[in-house]
Structure 1
Amino acid sequence: MEKIVVIDDDQSIRETLSNYLKRQKFDVYSAEDGVKGWELISNLLPDLVISDYRMPGFTGIEVLKKTKQLDPNIHFIIITAFDDMQTTIEAMQQGAYDFIEKPLEIEKLKLTIKRALENKTLSDKLDAIVGSNAESYELKNVIIGKTTVMKDIYKKIGQVSSNRVTVLLQGESGTGKELVARAIHYSGITKNSPFIPVNCTALTETLLESELFGHVKGAFTGSIKDKKGKFELAGDGTIFLDEISEISSNLQIKLLRVLQEKEFERVGGESMIKMEARIIAATNKNLVKLVNDGKFREDLYYRLNVVSVNLPPLRDRRDDIQPLVYHFLNKINKELHKSVSKIPDDVINILEKHEWIGNVRELENALMQGVVLSKGDVLEKENILLPKVESHPYEFDNYLNYSLNDIEKIHIERVLKGVNWDKPKAAKILGISLPTLYSKIDNYKLGVN
């Protein structure tokens, strides 16, 4: 139910308008002056404010300015008997949705309120949508592959996109898990609703909980107003939880409850909110192993793994490399305003034989570099700069002298040195999150003389 605040010092207008809106099934609050009206707005964060222009305390324009500073998405309608040009212009410049003169025409006001609330709903939805919209999202232009394993993935996308079943995407870093999640979302029943991606490694546990579930005003230091979480913003669309293996045990319990009960509450809140979104989770880890090691809840794993899609590494679908190369060249040429369109056979041969530890993402980066360095329309071999991949990178005099931790320490240190201590890049190569890498650097005291 949408919340509306009515502010007018004329009691008859205030009560008439409030009673009319209540009959229209709105949640209505009223105040007789600007100061009390502002107190209601700051506490309630309503969807719409209808305010008189001239009132004791704050004027309607002053309340409007304060409201827009608090939350630009609160819509505001000013009503007044002073319909001069200057007042109207000032109100619209400050962000009023509309300016209506007295005496009020109920049908006109009803239409304005309807449009204001529809506009706010659309605005909230557009704020939530990240990336491509449904109209511009075409599966054939995003996921490239003709191998049998990729065709099987296309079939699964078709099967799960027509319902709201929970999906678990598994695969190495760079295999395109988010692309598959977006394809599921935009090719089915959720295509006109928000797609909300969340990187579970990007925030601390406390911030991630607030990001997912939202919080109420005063829930913690700095929470000056209510905030909707990603589950709420997703509506009846899709929430994509990337790196799901990295969430804490506390958040695992809360996520399990959301999946079981289909409801949640904001941090510091007391009322339950219905969860309508479909959940797609992704990981580059072996969740079964994490379950066996006691690092991931078994019941949550089964709740997430209703339908599983396993994305193969690029080295296991080498027949897709050539069409991927042409796809990325076309994309990169448009972005960089270049025309590198010719690829010698020896270059294709090099690309098809490379191990692609970073998978499709590494291939795109290599081609981007090659196009930038190219002087003509040919992708030349000397401009394809690929790291040398050794089949046996480490030699040990006696394996019995080394623990698993010893070998892990050596591997991490050599990868860090190989990328000149570029930690985000090293984390991608190692297939671990950046916080995990920092933890291992600290544990193994790497880089300390």
Structure 2
Amino acid sequence: MTRILIVEDDLSVMDTTQRWLTLEGFEVFTCNDPLRAVTQIRDEGIDVVLSDVKMPQLSGLELLQHINQLDPELPMILMTGHGDIAMAVEAMAQGAYYFIEKPFEPEHLTQVIKRACNKREMALENQRLRNQLAHLSGIDSRLIGCSAVIEKLRKKILVLAGFDASVVIHGDTGTGKELVACCLHDYSTRCEQPFVAINCGAVPENLLESELFGHEKGAFTGADQTRIGKLEFASNGTLFLDEVESMPMNFQVKLLRALQENSIERVGSNKSISINPRVICATKVDLKKLADEGKFRLDLYYRLKVAELYLPSLSARPDDIALLFQHFLKLACCQYQVDQVDPTMEELILLSTREWPGNIRELKNLAQQFSIANNACETPLCDLLTPEAALEGDYKLPSGNPLNNLLIQVGRFEEHLLRMAMKEQLGSIKNVMQALGVSRRTLNLKMQRYNIRRNDYL
């Protein structure tokens, strides 16, 4: 429930305003001493401050200065008489959210407070995302996300990293297959040795053997010197074969033999060279189905597929999108040396509910565009997401009101379930985890998001 603090020395105005806002569903606190109001703001977790401008102990402008020191993002609404307009305008220039002239219509005040609450919610969400990013470390700082599917993926990567076995990574374009391969290498015993990547679809067929096996000087026209191949260079390290499904059939048998014998012969040489790479492959198609159709060697498939990892699409992990966008936005602003402008709550909702055919790569590209476009000409994120509507000037967020958005409704239902579980389990974290089937990390993140305090249920 939104917490409102009324700071007013006129007790009749304070009482009337309190009763109205309580009927509107707000949790209302009152204070007739602005000096005590600052302490109350800190202790009660206030979301919006509604203050008179002229008070004997402290003016509204002076109270604003105290609030800015305590919490610069806290919206403050000033109630002013006719003679106080100049002071109210000055206060807004210094960061006040709004001023409303006495006497005011209660319905108008309610609308202003609701808009201020949306601003507060946006500021808290962006701050939460920044704090979450700042505290990430290890694999959490590389595979970013708090969804259950990403937590499970991180655990499986750490387990597989400890085994010196071949891995096939399945995932659509842009889901981060090479990043996962790097994590498998970096958290393995081979981490001090080279990680060597090659895109099988990007190398011409007549050069693939030379790229992987190497060649001797004079082996073919243009071979002016001996060159070590990637299999040899990755020996004792990791070889990453991206788009392995693109590898020509006639070369697959050569690769299979090299992996089975742990030896190669450079092009133009008869000398066997021992190799010991760990092979990690990535594919965006079903290799087994491809093998059944005769388009991929079945024996090579079984040699490569000792373990498998399946990467989710970005649309399948909507809870991670806002966090990932903040991460990429921060990187882009540092890269282009521009100020970071956080997206609004409505824009974060839009990011989480749209489709992402390009997955993480598309989201990263959008963050880079936004960092430049917003600083260059204050282009809102909505215009980048729907450029056609932006040109026509008639863009609207889905359903008109973001509070009616499906994501908001799902969030409210999720919060309700969490609070009910905390109440039924008397605040027992272990029992709530079992009842809801979530990990400790996920539960902690959800409790932080919805400001659920365990002590309230003990």
- For 1:211-230, what aligned pairs fall within 5 Å after superposition? 211-230=211-230
Match of 2:197 in 1: 197
Match of 1:307 in 2: 307
TM-score under structure 1 length normalisation:
0.54
Structure 1 CA distance for aligned equivalents of residues 302 and 281 of structure 2: 12
Q: AA paired with 1:262?
A: N
Give the Å deviation of 1:382: 3.8
Structure 2 CA distance for aligned equivalents of residues 221 and 295 of structure 1: 31
Give the Å deviation of 1:139: 2.8
Confirm whether residue 253 of structure 1 aligns to residue 227 of structure 2.
no
Match of 2:133 in 1: none
Structure 1 unaligned segments of length 5 or more: list them: 1-136, 389-449
Q: Does the CA-based 8 Å contact 2:238-2:277 persist in structure 1? A: yes
Match of 1:188 in 2: 188
Q: Does the CA-based 8 Å contact 1:239-1:277 persist in structure 2? A: yes
> Cα distance 1:253–1:369, how it changes in 2: closer, same or farther (>3 A)?
same
Structure 2 CA distance for aligned equivalents of residues 160 and 273 of structure 1: 28
Q: AA paired with 1:178?
A: E
Q: AA paired with 2:380?
A: E
Q: Secondary structure at the match of 1:363?
A: helix
Larger radius of gyration: 2
Over residues 53-76 of structure 1, what are the superposed CA-to-partner deviations in whole Å (9 max), with x where a residue is unaligned?
xxxxxxxxxxxxxxxxxxxxxxxx
Q: Does the CA-based 8 Å contact 1:371-1:379 persist in structure 2? A: no
Confirm whether residue 241 of structure 1 aligns to residue 244 of structure 2.
no
Over residues 316-364 of structure 1, what are the superposed CA-to-partner deviations in whole Å (9 max), with x where a residue is unaligned?
1111101111111111111111222422011111111111000000011
Q: Does the CA-based 8 Å contact 1:344-1:379 persist in structure 2? A: no
Match of 1:147 in 2: 147
Confirm whether residue 274 of structure 1 aligns to residue 257 of structure 2.
no
Tell me how large the CA RMSD over aligned residues is. 2.0
> Cα distance 1:232–1:386, how it changes in 2: closer, same or farther (>3 A)?
farther
- For 1:420-435, what aligned pairs fall within 5 Å after superposition? none
Q: Does the CA-based 8 Å contact 2:341-2:371 persist in structure 1? A: no
Match of 1:9 in 2: none
Structure 1 CA distance for aligned equivalents of residues 376 and 139 of structure 2: 31
Matched-pair identity in %: 41
Structure 2 CA distance for aligned equivalents of residues 174 and 387 of structure 1: 22
Give the Å deviation of 1:384: 2.6
Q: Does the CA-based 8 Å contact 2:329-2:367 persist in structure 1? A: yes
Match of 1:385 in 2: 385
Match of 1:362 in 2: 362
Match of 1:349 in 2: 349
Confirm whether residue 298 of structure 1 aligns to residue 294 of structure 2.
no
Q: AA paired with 1:183?
A: C
Q: Secondary structure at the match of 1:201?
A: coil
After alignment, is 256-265 or 172-181 more displaced? 256-265
- For 1:73-112, what aligned pairs fall within 5 Å after superposition? none
Structure 2 CA distance for aligned equivalents of residues 240 and 378 of structure 1: 41
After alignment, is 268-277 or 174-183 more displaced? 268-277
Structure 1 CA distance for aligned equivalents of residues 326 and 367 of structure 2: 10
Q: AA paired with 1:214?
A: G
Give the Å deviation of 1:306: 0.6
Match of 1:393 in 2: none
Structure 2 unaligned segments of length 5 or more: list them: 1-136, 389-458
Q: Does the CA-based 8 Å contact 2:341-2:374 persist in structure 1? A: no
Structure 2 CA distance for aligned equivalents of residues 379 and 364 of structure 1: 17
Match of 1:113 in 2: none
> Cα distance 1:384–1:202, how it changes in 2: closer, same or farther (>3 A)?
same
Over residues 74-110 of structure 1, what are the superposed CA-to-partner deviations in whole Å (9 max), with x where a residue is unaligned?
xxxxxxxxxxxxxxxxxxxxxxxxxxxxxxxxxxxxx
Match of 1:163 in 2: 163
Corresponding pairs, count: 252
Q: Secondary structure at the match of 1:156?
A: helix
Give the Å deviation of 1:381: 3.1
Q: Secondary structure at the match of 1:168?
A: strand
> Cα distance 1:386–1:257, how it changes in 2: closer, same or farther (>3 A)?
farther
Q: AA paired with 1:244?
A: V
Structure 2 CA distance for aligned equivalents of residues 385 and 328 of structure 1: 16
Q: Secondary structure at the match of 1:374?
A: helix
Q: Secondary structure at the match of 2:385?
A: coil
Q: Does the CA-based 8 Å contact 1:165-1:278 persist in structure 2? A: yes
Q: Comparing both structures, which one devotes a greater share of its residues to helix? A: 2
Moved over 4 A (4+): 376-379
Match of 2:372 in 1: 372
Over residues 284-336 of structure 1, what are the superposed CA-to-partner deviations in whole Å (9 max), with x where a residue is unaligned?
11212211211001111111111100101111111110111111111111111
Structure 2 CA distance for aligned equivalents of residues 315 and 387 of structure 1: 21
Q: Does the CA-based 8 Å contact 1:342-1:379 persist in structure 2? A: no
Structure 1 CA distance for aligned equivalents of residues 140 and 274 of structure 2: 35
Give the Å deviation of 1:163: 2.8
> Cα distance 1:256–1:279, how it changes in 2: closer, same or farther (>3 A)?
same
Q: Does the CA-based 8 Å contact 2:338-2:375 persist in structure 1? A: no
Give the Å deviation of 1:138: 4.9
Give the Å deviation of 1:385: 3.0
Q: Does the CA-based 8 Å contact 1:373-1:383 persist in structure 2? A: no
Structure 2 CA distance for aligned equivalents of residues 349 and 260 of structure 1: 51
TM-score under structure 2 length normalisation:
0.53
Give the Å deviation of 1:166: 0.4
Give the Å deviation of 1:140: 2.9
Over residues 227-275 of structure 1, what are the superposed CA-to-partner deviations in whole Å (9 max), with x where a residue is unaligned?
1001111121111110100010111101111221111111121111111
